[in-house]
Amino acid sequence: MTQFQLPYGKSHLTFSLPDTLNVERLAPAPIPPVADATRAVSDALDHPRGDFRFEDFARAKSVAIAINDKTRPVPLGLLLPPLLQKLARVGISDAAITLMIGVGTHAPMPREEFGAVVPAEILSRYRVVSHNCDDASLNIFLGATKRGTRVLCNREYARADLRIALGDIEPHQFMGFSGGVKSAAVGVTARETIAQNHALMMEPNAYQGRYDDNPARQDCEEIGKIIGVQCALNSVIDEHKQIVGVFAGDPGAVMRVGAPLALDVYRVNVAAPFDLMIVSAGGHPKDINVYQAQKAVGHTIPVMKRSGTIIWIASCPEGAGSEVYEEYVAQFSSHEAVLEHFKRAPFQLGKHKAWQIARDATQVRLLMITELPPDLARKLLLPRVESLDAALAIALRDLPRDARVGIMPVGNVTVPVLTNDR
């Protein structure tokens, strides 16, 4: 027997598989992290990409920095101090700077939780606020994209002299990649804007790892241009949340160099589909709730045999992660019913999560290892299994003799690609 370990919440789950199985580990490439993360961030800020220069904003009276909320593993403790020092060096006062937590359609973060994302010394020195996509008084209409997305952005962010977006560049299941303008274009806009953009996930090219021809991503880029995001500071991190690359400057230029590196880290070539995949969302915060952890299953499906089995490992201590999703799926007794209803109804954020899970769960047998209470798991139509050993017993019992078994430790960002036709 060979022992394996996968992330689960803030810990790990350990399990063993027979040596007779054909097991393949689909893990990010072991690209070395930067030797000195603080210096790497400072160097990126001193040599920005594209035509952006911090010195051009030396007289800025207001700076708005969009940062991610607690559901994203962005190393803000490494990114923010050099950025704030850079702003100070060009003559921008602390009082001119606002850190805006870009929650997107997630619930606004209460002030007592700000310390979960912003280092204490920064929280005590700078103004920090949380966006609220449903507070109409916060947002201002700026125009519409060519795909018809109405851009309503946080007024304070949109009117700042300097608008910066912080985040990670990593594969995203329908946006292609996170990073660039996304922390602002999705993070600090209105629900209407986010919903219209995310409805493009139904288009064929709205797929992980696609950028130039991805309608959802390109609409996001246009939202960012309408808002006027001048600068992005983005890291690419490995599975251990260590920085392997960091880039600053014009958001488009940052994406052009950062997205290929993210693919180098997270793309895994696969020779043939799998009969069984044991996939972890990646641990905290990627499995903080079902809404976030679902991405692991979505990334796995392209390399699965139809009727194969996925054992999905996701702690989900904060439950469903969306009241809209939870209330919507509670109406149905099967994933097939979700799919049938969704294709006839107008697109709505939250409901789309039920559709994504149903889309995948109707193609494979799904077994979930989670901390979700049994009643909530049933309500969400999720096949909760009491233990990983119990799930393995079910899956291994039905495997064919020549079965292919995959293990994916950070499924939320891994991009497995079939190199041969099925």
pLDDT along the chain (422 residues), means of 10: 94 95 93 96 98 95 94 90 97 97 91 92 96 95 98 98 97 94 97 96 92 97 98 94 96 97 95 97 95 94 95 97 94 96 90 95 97 97 97 93 95 90 46
Residue 422 confidence (pLDDT):
42
pLDDT of residue 139: 96
Classify domain 2-30+271-418 at the CATH class level.
Answer: alpha beta
What is d(CA 106, CA 349) in angstroms, rounded to the nearest whole number?
11
What is the distance of C-alpha 189 from the center of its chain? Answer: 17
Q: What is the pLDDT of residue 142?
A: 98
Judged by DSSP in three states, 367 sits in strand
Q: Are 172 and 255 in contact (CB under 8 A)?
A: no
Cα–Cα distances (Å) from 51 to 13, 55, 230, 405, in that order, read: 47, 12, 10, 48
pLDDT at 172: 92
- Three-class SS of residue 187? coil
Every domain range in the chain assigned CATH 3.40.50.11440: 37-265
Task: At 225, list the tokens.
Answer: 């241009």
Q: How many CB atoms are located within 10 Å of the residue 111 CB?
A: 11
pTM: 0.89
Q: Where in the chain is the domain with CATH 3.90.226.30?
A: 2-30+271-418
| Inter-residue contact 288 to 87 (CB < 8 Å) | no
The tokens describing 69, both together, are 């909320």
| C-beta separation of 46 from 53 below 8 A | no
**Is-contact 83 54, C-beta < 8 A?**
no
CATH architecture of 37-265: 3-Layer(aba) Sandwich (3.40)
- Give 367's strand partners: 311
**Would you state the pLDDT for residue 1?**
85
SS3 343: coil
User: What is d(CA 369, CA 147) in angstroms, rounded to the nearest whole number?
Assistant: 40
